[in-house]
Amino acid sequence: HPASGIRAYEECYPQVAEFMGINQETKEPVPFDCTDPKFMEAYFRFAHHPLEEMGVDFWWIDWQQGTTSKFPGLDPLWMLNHLHFLDLGRDGKKRGFVFSRWPGLGGHRYPIGFSGDAHVTWESLAFQPYFTATAANVGYGWWSHDIGGHCFGKEEPELYTRWVQFGVFSPIMRLHSTNKYYHKREPWRWDLNTEKITTYYLRLRHQLIPYLYSMNYLNSEYGLPLIYPLYYHYPYHEEAYRQKNIYFFGSEMLVAPFITPLIKDLNRSRLDVWLPEGLWFNFFNGDVYQGNHHYSLYGGIEEINAFAKAGAIIPLAELTEDNQYKNPEILNVQIFPGNDNQFVLYEDDGETLAYKNGFYALTIFTLKAEKQALELEIEVQDQKAILPKKREIKLCFRNIVPNVKISSSVVYEYDSNLKAYSLTINPQAGEKVTLRLETETEDIIDSSFDYINKIMDLLDRSTYETSVKTEIGFFCPRYNQNREGLLAENLSVKELILEIQALNIDYELKNAILNILFREF
């Protein structure tokens, strides 16, 4: 809290007081004044630099609101952000950086911003996607929120889980609350299922760092934020302006977090969205969605809506050690079919200004998509030896039909659940590697959709009366069970839709089933 000045109880007080000509015995606070060069010298030299030598990486400054200073028109918060940014990068060993509040228009130049004390409520969570995405309109692309909420409200495992899921797909993932024991942000303080789900997502966030860092580079060089509204790419679609809870997450993905509680008995949350033109793939299970359509998305507590665009190339880190922070030795690159694309993976030392002198590496992925083939070229540019000496790249080609031919002699595996081919390559700096996948079938994209199993899973995880679920039906040849209900009647999808519409069942259950069936068209 810089506005408090330097107080007598602070360790640096004697040095600051002497430097500023204040009698220490009076214990008079040294007032904060960002317009006084002498005070600011003492502020950094005695209050900050010694702690940086002890290991403090950067500073989080708070409680410096206000628009008045000794210089008319100079906002003290803007000035503080500016000076902290310059001071941390004073010797070139670190980049300028400060974690602070937003000082108004133009305030994106220096800080990673935090958005204040969010409340522990569903209403507060529901505001975050819209709030975060539209901040891009004033250049403020790197928001950091109090994930989980800061204060008030009611601590619930479901709300906490949804906060974490949103946090993973937000610019900065920072679990935080006020210093009250019952505000708990540690996954292990919750029940086992909540701990399991949130731990999975926190590790996914760590895996996303290569993707996030490349997006950060784009933001630094070209001003393109990580998160931004749909209308940036679809300015002439009226629906793009109506969507408040779905946003672009970098160049390759759309994300639509669940922001409401689970529906009673259905045990899933619902989110109504419009997906823009094109083909979209569920990042986690590969389900295919046709764009320029409205969808009611239903998901269990372990799910978040994340979509990869057609042709998406998403580099992930393979986690080989705890608290891994260096450029990863193993990359896991998810590649989706359906469109041409190029993704440039940017890597440097992550700390110094050496990148300005060419100390960075680029790995360029170029995808060419045909009706019956995919061709991927990988080029590694690493003249300054930034990358690990033994870099492995695991390629995972998603939503590909079985029995394709691969032009290289590499060993590969096929995952029938993800409909994915996986293989590993070890490209060297200056080398280009080209892989081609071809099929003799009509289309290389596997967009098959098992609606019966989708409906059965929906029913199985619900807590409606068993008679209601049985009326809708089941068909489980793998368990050698009798078939029963509508799902066992060998109806066409259109016939099944009519039968479901005629049932006197809960609205949300009916809507969830119909949304599965309408995906067949």
Burial, 397: exposed, middle or buried (Cβ in 10 Å; 0-12, 13-18, 19+)? buried
Per-residue pLDDT, 332 = 98
Q: Tell me, yes or no, whether 345 lies in a domain.
A: yes
Q: Where are the alpha helices (DSSP H) in 21-121?
A: 37-47, 49-53, 76-88
Q: Tell me, yes or no, whether 224 lies in a domain.
A: no
- Same domain? For 200 and 63 the reply is yes
Task: Please identify, among 205, 221, 246, the residue that sits at the C-terminal boundary of a domain.
Answer: 205
Sequence-separated (6 or more) residues with CB below 8 Å from residue 478: none
CATH number for the domain including 30?
Answer: 3.20.20.80
Per-residue pLDDT, 294 = 96
Q: What is the pTM of this model?
A: 0.95
Distance, CA of 165 to CA of 161 (rounded, Å): 6
Residue 364: phi and psi, rounded to 5, are -105, 120
Residue type, 481: Q
Structure tokens at 58: 């950067």
- Same domain? For 492 and 385 the reply is no
Regions of the chain short of the pLDDT cut 70:
64-68, 477-481
- pLDDT per residue over 394-447, tens digit each? 999 999 999 999 987 789 999 999 999 999 999 999 999 999 999 998 899 999
Distance, CA of 259 to CA of 408 (rounded, Å): 45
- Same domain? For 430 and 489 the reply is no
- Same domain? For 89 and 124 the reply is yes
Burial, 205: exposed, middle or buried (Cβ in 10 Å; 0-12, 13-18, 19+)? middle
- Same domain? For 163 and 103 the reply is yes
Task: Please identify, among 205, 220, 240, the residue that sits at the C-terminal boundary of a domain.
Answer: 205
Rg (CA), the chain: 27
Task: Please identify, among 205, 229, 247, the residue that sits at the C-terminal boundary of a domain.
Answer: 205
* Secondary structure class of 415 (helix, strand, coil): strand
Write out the residue range of the structural domain in which residue 62 sits.
Answer: 2-205
Q: Tell me, yes or no, whether 291 lies in a domain.
A: no
- Same domain? For 464 and 433 the reply is no
- Same domain? For 81 and 181 the reply is yes
Distance, CA of 517 to CA of 95 (rounded, Å): 52
Q: Tell me, yes or no, whether 227 lies in a domain.
A: no
Per-residue pLDDT, 479 = 61
Sign of CA dihedral 494, 498, 503, 507: positive
CA-closest candidate to residue 196, choices 301, 297, 125, 298: 301
Per-residue pLDDT, 482 = 76
Q: Tell me, yes or no, whether 474 lies in a domain.
A: yes
Q: Tell me, yes or no, whether 293 lies in a domain.
A: no
Number of domains the chain is built from = 3
- Same domain? For 342 and 458 the reply is no
Per-residue pLDDT, 478 = 67
Q: Tell me, yes or no, whether 282 lies in a domain.
A: no
Per-residue pLDDT, 446 = 97
> Where in 257-391 does DSSP place strands (E)?
269-275, 279-282, 288-290, 293-299, 305-309, 313-317, 330-335, 341-347, 361-369, 373-381
Structure tokens at 241: 């302006």
- Same domain? For 160 and 196 the reply is yes
* Secondary structure class of 401 (helix, strand, coil): coil
Per-residue pLDDT, 67 = 66
Per-residue pLDDT, 104 = 84
- Same domain? For 47 and 146 the reply is yes
* Per-residue CA distances from 409 to 391, 405, 406, 435 (Å): 19, 10, 8, 10
CA neighbours closer than 13 Å in the CB half-sphere of residue 163:
30
Strand order in the sheet with 412-415: 313-317, 330-335, 392-397, 420-425, 412-415
Residue 448: phi and psi, rounded to 5, are -60, 150
- Same domain? For 476 and 412 the reply is no
Per-residue pLDDT, 286 = 97
Identify the helix (H) or strand (E) that includes residue 203.
Answer: helix 192-207
CATH number for the domain including 400?
Answer: 2.60.40.1180
Find the length of the chain: 521
- Same domain? For 132 and 16 the reply is yes
Q: Tell me, yes or no, whether 304 lies in a domain.
A: no
